[in-house]
Structures are given as structure tokens and as C-alpha cells.
Amino acid sequence: MRRFLKLLVTPCLALIGCSGGSMRLSPSFVAVHNSMAAMGLAQSGEISEGSLGEGDAARINARLRGGDCYTIVAFGSDGVNDIDVEVLDDTGEPIASDRTTDNQAAVQICPDVEADYQIAVRMAAGSGSYVLSSWSGMPAAGGGGGGGGSGRGTCSAPIALTPGTAVRGATTSGQSTMTGSCIRGGNAPELVYSVTIERRAHLTVTMNSDYDGALYLLGACGEMRSEIVCNDDAPNTSRSQVDATLDPGTYFVVVDGYGDAAGQFEMMAEVTDLQDLAQVCGSATPLTAGQAVTGSTQGRPSYFTATCAGGARSPDQVYAIDVPSRSRMRVRMQSTYDGALYVRSDCANPNSELACNDDHQDTRHSMLVTTVDPGRYYVYADGFRDGNAGDYSMRADLAPLTGGSAPADSCSSAGTITPGQDTAMDTFPAADDFQASCGGAGAPDVVYQLTLQSRMRVRAQLLDSEFPGAIYLQSTCGQQASEIACAAGGGGGPAMLDTNLQPGTYYLVVDGTTADAFGAARLEVQLDDLQALESACRQAPRLRPGRTVTGDTSSSSDRFQASCAGRAQSNDLVYRLVLARRSRVRITSEQQYDGAIYIRRDCTDMSTEVACNDDEGDNRHSVVETVLDRGTYYVFVDGFADRSQGAFTMDVEVTRP
């Protein structure tokens, strides 16, 4: 049974339990009453009391005047763990709700017109008595110095947002109907504001909140596919900011919260009219080849977009570079944010884009290479998608198409290599002198002389390469017919060459896999004495089918590599397997580290690998199974990539095929 008590502002209210046999008014209720009365607010309507079981709800009819703002407060007695309040309009649509997990609830509503509403009280958790009252005269959630209109803060009735004027509000009075991309999950209530852009402009909305707030901007309210930008923390949970360059139209700013967070906030929108693109392009900052520039996109508008980097709708800065003759162009950028880099031949025309790059090696570096004719080009420092801005440094380099100015550029100027040490090289200014079976036609290249005094295993690889490279060996410099071995990078992996050589002089060429593949890299060359390796292979323990082998690679070294397991550049152990007849071989290993096993016909020749496995079910198990002809094979216990080593057990099964 629910009954209503007319609230009289008398000393009686301050006396807990003065209302006859009703629920004792809690100290919290009394404190709220005294605070609101002190603020000059008036209690409106009647106090509602009742008792509800868990999951039950009560509805109270209320006539609310248009143009007034009401704050509705509910308190639960002992035994009430979570009480919710919701206001519904005459169509039954929820227009305000408090779904915080507490034995108190509060909502605020500012109706446009006088109408009948329903106030729903629900016992979400626990059970017991409740008391509900409403107060009028509270400023609208979107108000504060005239900063907001009289909307309800929903998509059907957004609050008008006036740029340049502070808006104060509380999301506790809102609904939970949508969630921005930067705060996926959760059901925090939100308030919706509308802002109208009269001409192409840059909009910045900044919010400070007493909770973990979030902001997002929509082109069509409620349609998350129309989201333009979303921000949770800038730079902490109490501040959010969104920036966007917008064409004329009406947009929707949504004040939301992370997870279930809700509370009070203050928000300011600023609109800056943009220059015409012709003006922006005309004032592009000059960029000189070979000279680094620094800058920041923070606080700048977004004038341009790109084909990569999610459209690159972040704040940007444009540079102009003049190219005197047909040239190779390389532009590198390092940024404190997820940057993007692109180049156009026509500043204002996105269809004139020649090259675009988002991430080079990581999100803080971008690099592009292209070939350009004489003329003026425009280089853009931008950011991934939207909202990515910060400090950057950038450098553009030009080189003639014929090259010829790189160290180690030709046979007559071949460089030297120190095995075991990285050699810094750059094919960007080099000529195209070589080609091989695995690539190199039309791409610039550099060459190094390698002299061996004894039989050696030669391992070469490109590290931190700016381009898809190829490495090959020739016995006569410049003669493709004298090629001994060739290896090209692929699938995002580096070029790695591994071969055995007799004593003599050889030429190691670093090239590009395609004509436009050039740039800097580190060349690493390692030499292993074949006699020592062959001795280790001859002394390798013999595997006996049916017997478990235990071992530990920790005290070994990296002598062998494989086609799987990240090239298996960890410490390894080698075993011999002798087959008297054609057989099916199954080898299983369990290791205390991320291990790998592989089989070769020739112990020292990587090209004779017949099987390789890294993970079987998980990275602590490896299995190889294959049919092998009669003969001697070599089984290697290794580890994933480098520095994967430790104890293992291994079992070998040999059966008829």
C-alpha cells in the first residue's frame, strides 16, 4: 500500500520519524531537504512512501510544468541495496533515469511543455521501504549561463549547445541508449546536445567531470555508424576532449561515462571558422630536401584526408617541396602520437595522392618512398583516423633516379664487411647495377666484398630494413650467371641468406625486390667455421626409437636456424637419426620454454630441411611427422626466435610408412 504525505516545510521534517506510522526519514533525506531548502528550491507535489520487494516497482503520476526543472530524490530503508528511479513521458518513453547501484537515487528533468508524467520506483536489489520527493527550481542539466537549451538531453529532444558558453550538467538524469567506440561496454547514462555549424569549421568540445567521463560526436543521433570522433581521457579520467573539422550541418555531442560512471560535468564548445583550402595550401610551410623540420599538430584543425591511416582525419600540417628533376623521394616522420604521412601533387585535390603511410615499424614512425617528376609537391603531417595529434619531426630526401652517390655503390667501390658487426647501408642514393634470381631488377643496390680463408658457413640478414630487400652472393662481381645463393624477404619477414662457401673472394649484394624498393637497413653477416660445425654434427648423439631423451639447451649456443619458429635463432642441440629402411618418423618434444624441432638431411645445410614445427597445441610442445628414405638425418632441438632455451624431453617413434 502506498500513501502520500503533504510535505510541509516545518521543524517537523527535521525530526526523524514525525510522520506517524510511516518509514523513518533517514538522515540523508533530511540533509538533502535542508540543503535544497537553503538553496531556495521548493518541494513540489507530495512525498511518496511505500514498501517493495526485490524486483518490484511502483509508479506515481505527476503533473509537471513546462519550463521548470525538477529534481526527484528517492531513499531506501535498511535492507534496500539498490533503488532505481525513472521518469516516463505520456507515451511511456523513458526520458530520465538513475541506475546507479545504491540505496539512493536522483534524476533531473526539465520538460518543454506541461504534461502528465510517470515516476517509476524500482527495487533493483534488496527489499524494504522507500520515500520519494521532488523539488523544483534546480537549473537545467544543460544550463549554466545560458549555455544550453531546454531539451531533455535525448536524441528526440537534444539540448542546444551554444559555442563559447560553459554548460554544466549531470548525467545521472540521463538514459543509457548508446555507447561510443572509445568506451565500448558498460551502460552509463548519457546526455545529448546539438550544435549547428553554419560553415565549414573546426569544433573543439572540452569537458571536465567529477567522474570518469567521455565525449563523442555523431552526425546522426543514435546512429553509431555516424560517429566522427570519440574520447575518453584527455589526458586523465576527469577530462575529455573531441576535435573535428565539420562541414555545415547539425551535429550531436554526447556526454557519457566509462563503464557505469555518471556524475556532474562542465563543458565548453568552441567553433573556429576554417580558411579556404586555397589559403591553407598557399601558406604551406617550405620543406627543403635533406633538412629536418619539427612541428606540432596539437590544437590544429583537420583540413586534409588520406587513403591510409583510417582516412587521416586528425589535425594536420602541410608542407611544400620543390623537385628540380625526376627523382626518388623519401620522407620520414617520427611522432609522439599515432602519426600518418602522405604526399600529393595538387595540395587541395585528394585524388592527386602519390603515396601514404601510417605505420613504419611502429605507430610512432611513418615513412614513404615514391618517384616524382619535376614540380611542386605537398607533404602532410597527419594522424591515424581522428583525434591523434602531437609533436613530430620530419625529413624529406631526394635522389636522382640514376643514383651513383651511395657508399659501396658499384664493383669498383665495393664495401667491406666485418663479420659479427652490423653494417649500416642505404640504397636510396645508389645506382641499379645488379639483379638476381630472387629480385633486384630496376632497384638500386650496394655491394660488399667478402674474402674467406677457409670453408665457411655464411649467414647474412637485413635488420630494421625500410624496404623489402634481397641478398645474394656472386663469385664474379656484376655477373648474374655467377650467382651462388639468393634470398628475398617476404611476408613481412627480413631477407636472410644461409649458405656454405669454399675459400675465395665473393661479392654480397643488397638489393630491392622491386624497382621502387630502396632505403636504409643494417646488414648483419656471420661466419661459422664449417669444420667445427661438421665436427659437432659427427659427434651428435644417436637417437634410439622408443627411448626418451632429456636435455637442456641453456648451456649451448646458436649454431643452426630453421624455416619456422621465427627462424629458430636460439641455443640448440643436434642429434643423429639413422634409418635402415624407408620409414615414418614421428618426433615429439615437451620443453619448459617456447621450443622447436626440425630435421635436415645435411647437418650444416639449411636448404636440406625436411620438417619443422614450433607449436603443437601450445608453445611448450612440438611435433614433426614425415616419411623418410633410408639414410642418416639430423634432428635439432631449438627455440622460438632468440633467447628461448631450457630443459626438454624428446621421444622418437619409427614405423613402417
| pLDDT tens digits for range 236-263 | 999 999 988 888 999 999 999 999 999 9
Distance, in Å, from the CA atom of 299 to the CA atom of 165, rounded to the nearest integer, reads: 19
The answer to whether residue 583 scores a pLDDT higher than 90 is yes
Place of cell 645488379: 434
The answer to whether residue 17 scores a pLDDT higher than 80 is no
CATH number of 540-655, picked from 2.60.120.380, 3.30.930.10, 3.30.70.270, 1.10.10.10: 2.60.120.380
pLDDT for residue 299: 81
Q: Which of 100-109, 237-246, 307-316, 465-474 has the lowest mean pLDDT?
A: 100-109
Distance, in Å, from the CA atom of 422 to the CA atom of 435, rounded to the nearest integer, reads: 23
Q: Which of 29-33, 487-491, 639-643 has the lowest mean pLDDT?
A: 29-33
Most confident of 32-36, 113-117, 435-439: 435-439
How would you write 429-457 as a 3-class SS string? CCCCCCCECCECCCCCCEEEEEEECCCEE
CA 130 to chain CA mean position, Å: 47
Distance, in Å, from the CA atom of 379 to the CA atom of 377, rounded to the nearest integer, reads: 7
Q: Where are the domains of the chain?
A: 3-136, 159-273, 277-396, 411-528, 540-655
Q: Which of 75-79, 288-292, 539-543 has the lowest mean pLDDT?
A: 75-79
Distance, in Å, from the CA atom of 465 to the CA atom of 512, rounded to the nearest integer, reads: 11
User: What average pLDDT does range 88-103 have in this prediction?
Assistant: 77
Contact 378, 372 (CB under 8 A): no
What does the block give as the cell for 476? 664474379
Q: Which of 27-41, 376-390, 428-442 has the lowest mean pLDDT?
A: 27-41
Q: Tens digit of pLDDT for each residue in 628-641?
A: 999 999 999 999 99
Q: Tens digit of pLDDT for each residue in 562-576?
A: 989 988 999 999 999
Distance, in Å, from the CA atom of 526 to the CA atom of 531, rounded to the nearest integer, reads: 15
Distance, in Å, from the CA atom of 476 to the CA atom of 482, rounded to the nearest integer, reads: 6
Average pLDDT, the chain: 87
Q: How confident is the model at residue 20 (pLDDT cuts 50, 70, 90)?
A: very low
Measured on CA atoms in the order 639, 645, 648, 650, is the torsion positive or negative?
Answer: positive
Distance, in Å, from the CA atom of 297 to the CA atom of 390, rounded to the nearest integer, reads: 5
pTM of this prediction exceeds 0.75: no
pLDDT for residue 139: 45
Q: What architecture (CATH level 2) is domain 277-396?
A: Sandwich (2.60)
pLDDT for residue 494: 77
Q: How confident is the model at residue 379 (pLDDT cuts 50, 70, 90)?
A: very high
CATH code of domain 411-528:
2.60.120.380
Distance, in Å, from the CA atom of 292 to the CA atom of 296, rounded to the nearest integer, reads: 14
Q: Which amino acid is at 298?
A: Q
Distance, in Å, from the CA atom of 44 to the CA atom of 73, rounded to the nearest integer, reads: 12
Residue-wise over 325-344: b if at least 16 C-beta within 10 A, else e? eebbbbbbbbbebbbbbbbb
The answer to whether residue 140 scores a pLDDT higher than 90 is no
Provide the edge-to-edge strand list for the sheet that holds 415-416: 415-416, 446-452, 504-512, 469-474, 483-488
pLDDT for residue 407: 95
Contact 169, 158 (CB under 8 A): no
SS3 343: strand
Distance, in Å, from the CA atom of 645 to the CA atom of 640, rounded to the nearest integer, reads: 9
Contact 591, 647 (CB under 8 A): yes
Do the two domains 411-528 and 540-655 of this chain adopt the same fold? yes
CATH number of 159-273, picked from 2.40.50.100, 2.60.120.380, 1.10.3720.10, 3.30.70.20: 2.60.120.380
Contact 560, 574 (CB under 8 A): yes
432: closest CA among 396, 453, 402, 467? 402
Q: Cis omega (within 30 of 0) on the bond before 27?
A: no
Q: Which amino acid is at 359?
A: D
Provide the edge-to-edge strand list for the sheet that holds 595-600: 573-579, 631-639, 595-600, 609-613
The answer to whether residue 48 scores a pLDDT higher than 60 is yes
Distance, in Å, from the CA atom of 375 to the CA atom of 344, rounded to the nearest integer, reads: 11
The answer to whether residue 138 scores a pLDDT higher than 50 is no
What does the block give as the cell for 491? 611476408
The answer to whether residue 502 scores a pLDDT higher than 90 is yes
**635 Cβ contact partners less than 8 Å away, ≥ 6 residues apart:** 543, 574, 575, 576, 577, 587, 597, 598, 599, 650, 652
DSSP state of 139: P
Contact 221, 158 (CB under 8 A): yes
The number of C-alpha atoms within 13 Å of 5 and in the hemisphere containing its C-beta is 20
Q: Which of 73-77, 150-154, 284-288 has the lowest mean pLDDT?
A: 150-154
455 or 146, which is more confident = 455
The answer to whether residue 3 scores a pLDDT higher than 80 is no
Concatenated DSSP letters of 201-268 = EEEEEEEEESS-EEEEEESSTT-GGGEEEEES-SSSTTEEEEEEEE-SEEEEEEEEESTT---EEEEE
User: What average pLDDT does range 30-35 have in this prediction?
Assistant: 58
Distance, in Å, from the CA atom of 134 to the CA atom of 11, rounded to the nearest integer, reads: 19
Distance, in Å, from the CA atom of 152 to the CA atom of 159, rounded to the nearest integer, reads: 6
Q: How confident is the model at residue 328 (pLDDT cuts 50, 70, 90)?
A: very high
434: closest CA among 512, 376, 377? 512
600: closest CA among 534, 555, 646? 534
CB atoms within 10 A of CB 489: 23
Q: Compute the chain's Rg from CA coordinates.
A: 36
The answer to whether residue 28 scores a pLDDT higher than 80 is no
For residue 471, give Cα distances in angstroms to 25, 446, 497, 561, 606: 84, 10, 7, 17, 16
Distance, in Å, from the CA atom of 109 to the CA atom of 95, rounded to the nearest integer, reads: 8
SS3 108: strand
User: What average pLDDT does range 310-327 have in this prediction?
Assistant: 95
603: closest CA among 500, 504, 516? 500
Residue length, the chain? Answer: 657
pLDDT for residue 4: 31
CA 124 to chain CA mean position, Å: 38
Distance, in Å, from the CA atom of 97 to the CA atom of 261, rounded to the nearest integer, reads: 14
pLDDT for residue 18: 36
The answer to whether residue 141 scores a pLDDT higher than 70 is no
CATH 2.60.120.380 assigned to domain 3-136? The reply is yes
User: What average pLDDT does range 112-138 have in this prediction?
Assistant: 83
User: What average pLDDT does range 465-485 have in this prediction?
Assistant: 95
The answer to whether residue 212 scores a pLDDT higher than 80 is yes
Distance, in Å, from the CA atom of 517 to the CA atom of 511, rounded to the nearest integer, reads: 8
CA max distance for the chain: 109
The answer to whether residue 301 scores a pLDDT higher than 50 is yes
What does the block give as the cell for 577? 637419426
pLDDT for residue 19: 36
